[in-house]
């Protein structure tokens, strides 16, 4: 009787914590050795609207300034794929309020971005990377687009890189 009770207790206590672990195959960070900011954790999920929250694809990141230089702004690339690895959406999340977060160049920071898409409910896999960084002296670091597209093609072999362009939304909304 005691072993059954112990097993039941383990299942009730441990099972919820196992379910909350982010699935690394569903939440991917593009490796970037030369980026001045490192993404330490990433989680994405479809969020249903409630009284206090918006509906959409929620992207949560934690990141660190690894450059030891003062940073003014960071832009993250955020891409979503469906259950069947079809492209769903892309957006860019920008953090411009980091002066206090990165004063000594070593603190962690975090951000959450909500993306709206036509078929957002089909979100399954999220991908993120550091897209651009602006330093306090005006210098702008930019990610290698080829490496980003190569990583995205591991999910969708025929991924169309043109959807990453800043004005890509115009192609789908204008005649």
Q: Is 32 strand, coil or helix?
A: coil
pLDDT digits (tens, 9 = 90+) for 28-72: 999 999 999 999 999 988 777 677 667 778 888 999 888 888 888
* 16 belongs to a structural domain: no
Comparing 131 with 167, which gets the higher pLDDT?
A: 131
127 inside domain: yes
> Does residue 7 form part of some domain?
no
The predicted model scores a pTM of 0.77
Residue 144 has pLDDT above 60, yes or no: yes
- The sheet that has 56-65: what strands, in order across it? 37-47, 56-65, 108-115
Residue 73 lies in a domain: yes
Name the residue range of residue 107's domain: 23-173
Number of domains the chain is built from: 1
In a domain, 10, yes or no: no
Which two tokens mark 107? 């603190």
pLDDT tens for 5-19 read: 444 444 444 444 333
pLDDT tens-digit map of 85-134: 999 888 898 888 766 556 555 567 888 888 776 666 667 899 999 999 99
Look at residue 11 and tell me if it is in a domain: no
Residue 11, token pair as written in the block? 């299942």
| 24 band by pLDDT with thresholds 50, 70 and 90 | low
**Which pLDDT tens digit goes with each residue over 71-85?**
889 999 999 998 999
């Amino acid at each position: 009787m005691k072993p059954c009770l112990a097993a039941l207790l383990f299942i009730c206590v441990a099972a919820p914590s196992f379910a909350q672990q982010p699935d690394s195959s569903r939440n991917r960070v593009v490796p970037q050795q030369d980026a001045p900011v490192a993404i330490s954790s990433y989680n994405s999920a479809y969020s249903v609207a409630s009284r206090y929250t918006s509906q959409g694809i929620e992207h949560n990141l934690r990141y660190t300034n690894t450059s030891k230089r003062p940073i003014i702004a960071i832009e993250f690339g955020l891409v979503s794929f469906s259950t069947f690895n079809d492209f769903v959406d892309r957006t860019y999340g920008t953090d411009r309020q980091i002066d206090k977060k990165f004063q000594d160049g070593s603190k962690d920071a975090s951000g959450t971005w909500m993306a709206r898409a036509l078929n957002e409910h089909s979100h399954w896999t999220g991908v993120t990377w550091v897209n651009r960084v602006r330093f306090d002296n005006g210098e702008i670091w930019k990610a290698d687009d080829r490496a980003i597209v190569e990583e995205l093609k591991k999910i969708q072999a025929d991924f169309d890189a043109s959807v990453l362009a800043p004005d890509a939304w115009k192609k789908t909304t204008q005649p």
